[in-house]
Structure 1
Amino acid sequence: MHSEVQALIARSNRLGADPTTTNYAGGNTSAKAQVTDPVTGGPVDLLWVKGSGGDLGTLTEAGLAVLRLDRLRALVDVYPADAGSGNPVDPEREDEMVPLLDYCRHGRGGAAPSIDTAMHGLVDAAHVDHLHPDAGIAVAAAADGPELTKEIFGDRVLWVPWRRPGFQLGLDIAAVARANPQAIGVILGGHGITAWGATSEECERHSLEIIRTAQSYLDEHGRAEPFGPVIDGYAPLPPDERRARAAALAPVLRGLASTDRPQVGHFIDSDVVLDFVARERHPALAALGTSCPDHFLRTKVRPMVLDLPPTAPLPETLDRLRELHAAYRDDYRAYYERHATSDSPPMRGADPAIVLVPGVGMFSFGANKQTARVAGEFYVNAVNVMRGAESVSRYAPIDEAEKFRIEYWALEEAKLKRLPKPKPLATRVAFVTGGGSGIGRATAHRLAAEGACVVVADRDAEAAATVAAEIGGADVAVAVTADVTDGTAVARALRAAVLAFGGVDLVVNNAGLSISKPLLETTEADWDLQHDVMAKGSFLVSREAARIMTAQGMGGDIVYISSKNSLFAGPNNVAYGAAKADQAHQVRLLAAELGGHGIRVNGVNPDGVVRGSGIFAGGWGAQRAAVYGVPEEKLGEFYAQRTLLKREVLPEHVANAVFVLTSGELSHTTGLHVPVDAGVAAAFLR
Structure 2
Amino acid sequence: MSVNETVAQLLARSNRLGADPRNTNYAGGNTSAKGTETDPVTGEQVELLWVKGSGGDLGTLTEAGLAALRLDRLRSLPSVYPGIEREDEMVAAFDFCLHGRGGAAPSIDTAMHALVNAAHVDHLHPDSGIALATSANGEALTKECFGDRVVWVPWRRPGFQLGLDIAAIKDSQPQAIGAVLGGHGITAWGDTSEQCEANSLEIIRTAAAFIEQHGKADPFGAELPDFAPLPEAQRRERAAALFPLLRGLASTDRAQVGHYTDSPVVLEFLSRAEHSRLAAAGTSCPDHFLRTKVRPLVLDLPPTASLEDVSARLKELHEAYREDYAAYYNRHATPESPAMRGADPAIVLVPGVGMFSFGVNKQTARVAGEFYINAINVMRGAEALSTYAPIPESEKFRIEYWELEEAKLRRMPKPKPLATRIAFVTGGGSGIGKATAVRLATEGACVVVADRDGAAAEAVAKGIGGPDAAIAVAVDVTDEEQIAAALKAAVLAFGGVDLVVNNAGLSISKPLMDTTIQDWDIQHDVMARGSFLVSRAAATVMVPQNMGGDIVYIASKNGVFAGPNNVAYGAAKADQAHQVRLLAAELGQYGIRVNGVNPDGVVRGSGIFAGGWGAKRAAVYGVKEEDLGAYYAQRTLLKREVLPEHVAAAVFTLVGPDLSHTTGLHVPVDAGVAAAFLR
Give the letter for the 1:299 counterpart. Answer: T
Distance in 1 (CA, whole Å) between partners of 2:150 and 2:521 is 75
Give the letter for the 1:27 counterpart. Answer: G
Does 2:531 match 1:529? no
TM-score, length of structure 2 as denominator length: 0.99
* Alignment equivalent of 1:38, drawn from 24, 37, 40: 40
Indicate the larger mover: 36-45 or 394-403: 36-45
Does 2:561 match 1:559? no
3-state SS of paired residue (2:100) = coil
Give the structure 2 partner of residue 495 of structure 1.
488
Whether the 8 Å contact between 2:601 and 2:633 is mirrored in structure 1 is no
Give the structure 2 partner of residue 516 of structure 1.
509
The 1:109–1:661 alpha-carbon spacing in structure 2 relative to 1, beyond 3 Å, is farther
Give the structure 1 partner of residue 436 of structure 2.
443
3-state SS of paired residue (2:569) = helix
Distance in 2 (CA, whole Å) between partners of 1:577 and 1:72 is 73
Deviations 1:277-308 (A, max 9, x none): 11110000000000000000000000000000
Give the structure 2 partner of residue 3 of structure 1.
5
* Alignment equivalent of 2:594, drawn from 593, 597, 601: 601
Does 2:199 match 1:199? no
Give the structure 1 partner of residue 68 of structure 2.
66
* Alignment equivalent of 1:308, drawn from 283, 298, 301: 301
Give the letter for the 1:383 counterpart. Answer: I
* Alignment equivalent of 1:147, drawn from 134, 140, 143: 140
The equivalences for 1:323-334 within 5 A come to 323-334=316-327
Give the letter for the 1:565 counterpart. Answer: N
The equivalences for 1:69-218 within 5 A come to 69-81=71-83, 89-90=84-85, 93-218=86-211
Give the structure 1 partner of residue 50 of structure 2.
48
3-state SS of paired residue (2:294) = coil
Distance in 2 (CA, whole Å) between partners of 1:597 and 1:109 is 51
* Alignment equivalent of 1:585, drawn from 566, 570, 578: 578
Deviations 1:263-284 (A, max 9, x none): 0000010000000111110000
3-state SS of paired residue (1:106) = strand
Distance in 2 (CA, whole Å) between partners of 1:617 and 1:522 is 20
> Alpha-carbon deviation of 1:219?
1.2
3-state SS of paired residue (2:87) = helix
> Alpha-carbon deviation of 1:232?
2.5
Give the letter for the 2:212 counterpart. Answer: D
Give the structure 2 partner of residue 85 of structure 1.
none
* Alignment equivalent of 2:356, drawn from 350, 353, 363: 363
TM-score, length of structure 1 as denominator length: 0.98
The equivalences for 1:468-507 within 5 A come to 468-507=461-500
Distance in 2 (CA, whole Å) between partners of 1:172 and 1:677 is 70
Aligned identity (percent) is: 77
Distance in 2 (CA, whole Å) between partners of 1:175 and 1:138 is 24
Whether the 8 Å contact between 2:69 and 2:102 is mirrored in structure 1 is no
Give the structure 1 partner of residue 382 of structure 2.
389
Give the structure 1 partner of residue 609 of structure 2.
616
Whether the 8 Å contact between 2:247 and 2:496 is mirrored in structure 1 is yes
3-state SS of paired residue (2:36) = strand
Distance in 2 (CA, whole Å) between partners of 1:181 and 1:425 is 55
Distance in 1 (CA, whole Å) between partners of 2:24 and 2:204 is 10
* Alignment equivalent of 1:276, drawn from 244, 269, 281: 269
Give the structure 2 partner of residue 286 of structure 1.
279
Distance in 1 (CA, whole Å) between partners of 2:329 and 2:76 is 37
Distance in 2 (CA, whole Å) between partners of 1:661 and 1:576 is 24
Deviations 1:132-186 (A, max 9, x none): 0100100101011001101111111110000000000001111111111111100
The equivalences for 1:216-235 within 5 A come to 216-235=209-228
* Alignment equivalent of 2:450, drawn from 435, 457, 464: 457
Deviations 1:343-376 (A, max 9, x none): 0000000000000000000000000001000000
Does 2:351 match 1:351? no
3-state SS of paired residue (1:233) = helix
> Alpha-carbon deviation of 1:609?
0.8
Distance in 2 (CA, whole Å) between partners of 1:475 and 1:15 is 23
Deviations 1:428-448 (A, max 9, x none): 000000000000000000000
3-state SS of paired residue (1:108) = strand
Distance in 2 (CA, whole Å) between partners of 1:394 and 1:483 is 54
Distance in 2 (CA, whole Å) between partners of 1:119 and 1:2 is 23
Deviations 1:372-418 (A, max 9, x none): 00000000000000000001111000000000000000000000001
The equivalences for 1:20-35 within 5 A come to 20-35=22-37
* Alignment equivalent of 2:460, drawn from 467, 471, 477: 467
> Alpha-carbon deviation of 1:220?
1.3
3-state SS of paired residue (2:151) = strand
Distance in 1 (CA, whole Å) between partners of 2:82 and 2:289 is 28
Give the letter for the 2:366 counterpart. Answer: R
User: Alignment RMSD, CA only?
Assistant: 0.7
Distance in 2 (CA, whole Å) between partners of 1:446 and 1:533 is 24
Distance in 2 (CA, whole Å) between partners of 1:79 and 1:357 is 48
* Alignment equivalent of 1:634, drawn from 627, 630, 633: 627
Any stretches of 5+ residues in structure 2 without a counterpart?
none
Give the letter for the 2:642 counterpart. Answer: V
Distance in 2 (CA, whole Å) between partners of 1:664 and 1:585 is 24
Distance in 2 (CA, whole Å) between partners of 1:137 and 1:557 is 45
- The structure 1 segments of at least 4 consecutive aligned residues displaced by more than 2 Å after TM superposition are none
Distance in 2 (CA, whole Å) between partners of 1:619 and 1:200 is 64
Distance in 2 (CA, whole Å) between partners of 1:362 and 1:123 is 40
Distance in 2 (CA, whole Å) between partners of 1:294 and 1:94 is 20
Give the structure 2 partner of residue 17 of structure 1.
19
Deviations 1:483-520 (A, max 9, x none): 10001100110010000000000000000001111111
Distance in 2 (CA, whole Å) between partners of 1:414 and 1:386 is 31
Does 2:290 match 1:297? yes
Deviations 1:304-347 (A, max 9, x none): 00000011000110000000000000000000000000100000
> Alpha-carbon deviation of 1:640?
0.5
The 1:109–1:101 alpha-carbon spacing in structure 2 relative to 1, beyond 3 Å, is closer
> Alpha-carbon deviation of 1:608?
2.0
Give the letter for the 2:89 counterpart. Answer: E
Deviations 1:452-505 (A, max 9, x none): 000000111100100000000111001111110001100110010000000000
> Alpha-carbon deviation of 1:41?
1.1
Give the structure 1 partner of residue 652 of structure 2.
659
Distance in 2 (CA, whole Å) between partners of 1:313 and 1:30 is 53
Deviations 1:76-116 (A, max 9, x none): 011144xxxxxxx31xx011111011001111251000000
Give the letter for the 1:663 counterpart. Answer: G
Distance in 2 (CA, whole Å) between partners of 1:615 and 1:608 is 11
Give the structure 2 partner of residue 401 of structure 1.
394
Number of equivalent positions: 677
Give the letter for the 2:349 counterpart. Answer: L
Distance in 2 (CA, whole Å) between partners of 1:387 and 1:13 is 27
